[in-house]
Amino acid sequence: MDDSNDAIDVYSIKLSNLAYKDLDEIYAHIANTLIEPSIASNIVERAAVKWQYDNSAI
């Protein structure tokens, strides 16, 4: 079996200070206002991964 197709691409990204601020505000709203810290963590992490994927061609 050829495992060469199982490779995972790894990217290194940098988020701007504004992007971090936005993610912090999203997390704080969901965690504190909606009182769902675990959901907040999942959403922020998924948003960061999506942002990384969407901008990988740049």
DSSP string, 15-55: --HHHHHHHHHHHHIIIIIS--HHHHHHHHHHHHHHHHHHT
pTM: 0.48
pLDDT tens digits, residue range 12-27?
777 788 888 888 888 8
Q: What is the pLDDT of residue 12?
A: 76
Least Cα distance to 54 among 25, 19, 28 occurs for 19
Whether residue 4 lies inside any domain: the answer is no
Q: Domain residues for 31? A: 13-54
More confidently predicted of 11 and 25: 25
Whether residue 48 lies inside any domain: the answer is yes
How many structural domains compose the chain? 1
List the structure tokens of 22: 């936005």
Answer whether 21's CB lies under 8 Å from 31's CB. no
Whether residue 37 lies inside any domain: the answer is yes
